[in-house]
Structure 1
Amino acid sequence: MVPRLSLSNQRKIQKERRKGKGRNETARSLHVSVNTVTKYTNTLIVDERPGWMNRKGQSQLYTGKTLKKVQIEIKNKTYSSAIQLKKALKLPGSDRSFQRFLKANKIGLHKHRRVPPFQPHHIQNRYNFAKETISKGFLPELCLFDDEKTVRGRGPDKYYRSLREENTPQPESKSRAHPITVGIWGCVGVGFKSKLFVTDGTIDGATYTDAVINGLSKAKMDPPLDTRVLLSDNAGWHKKRDEMPRIERAKIKQKFLPPLSSDLNPIEHVWALLSSKLYENCAIYDTVDSLRKAVIKAWNSIPQESIDNLVLSYGDRLLECYSREGKMTKYWKDRAG
């Protein structure tokens, strides 16, 4: 049975609950049971002064002014969670009550997210990588950047084009589900563009290793391959234990960018150039052979001067990442089009 508490203890329970504390937390702080807190949370407490009731419902914890503050803060900044937003506004109450408040007002933070949900360790890894690379000194002319992607028979895909030009017709939004797809791999550097590797299936560890060895070991480049460094992202198939010795035996020096660092990889912009040429005039490819030929043609049509400019921007990317202490750079927005 729930014990009967004095008016002062009942007020203490309701005072703690109005602050937004949960039932368990309130019970621990006041040394009472959870059932007692549940009973007296919404109990009307009549004070000595007649007609005055010391009751404040949970719905009054966040008012209309709070809602306006939340809307303004979301509009000006980007938040990945309700807890992060609540801390930024220094609001009272529990995290759960604030989440209910956002749900009741139909506010979804994921709709306003412009960048990936970075965690502190991701930011620190990016900052350390940029700091170490800049301190040791590097030459973008000796860097090679590779990546792979899936190309669909009808755009748009993730990096299909930059729609900054006016009056540019946009492909249908439903085309992402087009069944005709191919996987491609490419590598770029200053004065170098590898042959495009195209496969009908998905690119796994063995396929990726074959593409790297065939695309780089026999390629002619100046400076030569043994003086260059291949920079790849952190995809799982890039680090297969069974396949990495093959890359080492081919005398290819490989280094990995930190996680969530697509803005540091210039080849992402090369994919955007390829897709803009591939889906020009809303082109549609209904067979694998036609898509394969079109992808190779679009890759070969990318001027080497444009690739050189993108690769040489690697230094600016690192400097901006270092100056922003590992946070997302402007190259992410430019890359996404």
Structure 2
Amino acid sequence: MPPRRKLNEFERGRAVAWFQDGVPKREVARRLHVSISVIVRLIQRFTATGRVQERRRPGRPKKTTPREDRLIERLALQTRTASSSIIQRQLRVATNTNISQQTIRNRLHGFNLRSRHPAVRPRLTPAHRAARRAFCRRHVRWTRQQWSQVLFSDESRFTLNHNDDRLRVWRSQGEPYIDTTDQEKVAFGGGSVMVWGAFSLHHRTPLFHVQGNLTGLRYRDEILRPLAVPTLQQMGPQAVHQDDNARPHRARVVNDFLQQPGVNRMEWSACSPDLNPIENLWDELDRKVRSNHPPPRCCSLSGRRFHRGSSPPWSTL
């Protein structure tokens, strides 16, 4: 198809003269390097009005040309973080065209480009990427039986108040600060509690309340020795313990303790995507707690630990 372009007044008159001399429309389009539909519309307009000038279009004419619109799109795609003011300056330097920032945004909207918050992900080095690929290749063919031997573990913190700015309210213009449409925030969530737990396909540990800061010694003496290792022994000699790369989990005292016979540990690459299925359980547990009526007003677990003989709070999940 010939490249699209706009005919000037001389070319439009020439096209009509050729057509009146008996030149076919397709040949006229070929000579002028335009689509045949351009010539068809031109002949129709000349037949109806006797003029070759374009009809006056309603509304305010565009300040930019199609070429400048494509340049705006290209500038935005080259530098995805460029603001409308930066694109405005770059366009002024390149084409000497001065348009408003809102016009820049309107042109980008026409190309289906809109300003969004960027997706957040960890910074990955080549070593991180290689470790990710190696982990996937080692486990891509694992069967359900093999995964059932993995004891997934993690800690989670539960707060009384969410400060993630995802709450939305219905309000009219001029009502940003009325009591029913604002949100009160409390520093650090207004109180929190941290718990540790682990589960596999057929086993689970009690839920342990972590009081204060978790260190490598506390992780070994209060969690691994009384809770995780006995559960692994119940699972059998093929059981594998999984935990992430938090500093207490990778402390030297923890690594030395897990070197004992009968304890297998899954390698977990640094900055890996958090695919631990226990994260889904923490989310469901949080929803269960918040669905209570009345909602919880205290984060204390009375300083007690849920022993193996008792029923843990997550036993109903």
Q: TM-score, normalised by structure 2?
A: 0.51
One-letter amino acid matched to 1:218: P
Partner of 1:213: 225
Q: Which has the larger radius of gyration?
A: 2
Partner of 1:22: none
Partner of 2:176: none
Partner of 2:210: 199
Partner of 1:227: 238
Give the number of the structure whose residues are more often helix, by fraction: 1
One-letter amino acid matched to 2:118: H
Which of 130, 149, 152 aligns to 2:156? It is: 149
Indicate conservation of the 8 Å contact 1:145/1:267, yes or no.
yes
Question: What is the 5 A alignment of 1:4-15?
Answer: none
One-letter amino acid matched to 2:194: G
- Are residues 218 and 124 of structure 1, via their aligned partners in 2, closer, same or farther at CA, if it must alter by over 3 Å? closer
3-state DSSP of counterpart to 2:185: helix
CA separation in 2, counterparts of 1:231 and 1:173?
38
1:241 Cα deviation (Å)? Answer: 1.1
Partner of 2:297: 285
1:280 Cα deviation (Å)? Answer: 1.9
Partner of 1:54: none
CA separation in 1, counterparts of 2:204 and 2:184?
31
Indicate conservation of the 8 Å contact 2:232/2:263, yes or no.
no
The one-character-per-residue Cα deviations of 1:167-209 (angstroms, maximum 9, x if unpaired) are xxxxx67357234222211111011110011122121211222
Which of 231, 239, 256 aligns to 2:267? It is: 256
Indicate conservation of the 8 Å contact 1:274/1:298, yes or no.
no
Structure 1 residue 300 and structure 2 residue 300: aligned? no
Indicate conservation of the 8 Å contact 1:180/1:287, yes or no.
yes
- Are residues 260 and 298 of structure 1, via their aligned partners in 2, closer, same or farther at CA, if it must alter by over 3 Å? farther
CA separation in 2, counterparts of 1:173 and 1:121?
43
Partner of 1:116: 122
1:122 Cα deviation (Å)? Answer: 2.0
What RMSD over aligned residues (CA atoms) do the two structures have, in Å? Answer: 4.5
Indicate conservation of the 8 Å contact 1:183/1:203, yes or no.
no
One-letter amino acid matched to 1:270: L
1:250 Cα deviation (Å)? Answer: 7.1
Structure 1 residue 127 and structure 2 residue 140: aligned? no
- Are residues 287 and 274 of structure 1, via their aligned partners in 2, closer, same or farther at CA, if it must alter by over 3 Å? closer
Question: What is the 5 A alignment of 1:1-337?
Answer: 65=70, 67-69=72-74, 71=76, 111-134=117-140, 139-152=146-159, 154-156=160-162, 174=185, 177-210=188-221, 211-219=223-231, 223-224=235-236, 226-249=237-260, 251-280=262-291, 283-289=295-301, 300-303=313-316
Indicate conservation of the 8 Å contact 2:204/2:231, yes or no.
no
Indicate conservation of the 8 Å contact 1:129/1:258, yes or no.
yes
CA separation in 2, counterparts of 1:181 and 1:230?
27
- Are residues 175 and 293 of structure 1, via their aligned partners in 2, closer, same or farther at CA, if it must alter by over 3 Å? farther
Indicate conservation of the 8 Å contact 2:220/2:257, yes or no.
yes
- Are residues 228 and 72 of structure 1, via their aligned partners in 2, closer, same or farther at CA, if it must alter by over 3 Å? same
3-state DSSP of counterpart to 1:148: strand
Q: Which has the higher contact order (CA 8 A, sep 6+)?
A: 1
CA separation in 1, counterparts of 2:254 and 2:137?
30
1:116 Cα deviation (Å)? Answer: 3.1
Q: Alignment identity in percent?
A: 20
Indicate conservation of the 8 Å contact 1:180/1:285, yes or no.
no
- Are residues 196 and 176 of structure 1, via their aligned partners in 2, closer, same or farther at CA, if it must alter by over 3 Å? farther
1:139 Cα deviation (Å)? Answer: 0.7
The one-character-per-residue Cα deviations of 1:134-183 (angstroms, maximum 9, x if unpaired) are 4687710111111112222x14378xx9xxxxxxxxxx673572342222
- Are residues 118 and 302 of structure 1, via their aligned partners in 2, closer, same or farther at CA, if it must alter by over 3 Å? farther
Deviates further, 269-278 or 112-121: 112-121
The one-character-per-residue Cα deviations of 1:222-255 (angstroms, maximum 9, x if unpaired) are 532x320111111121111123222333742212
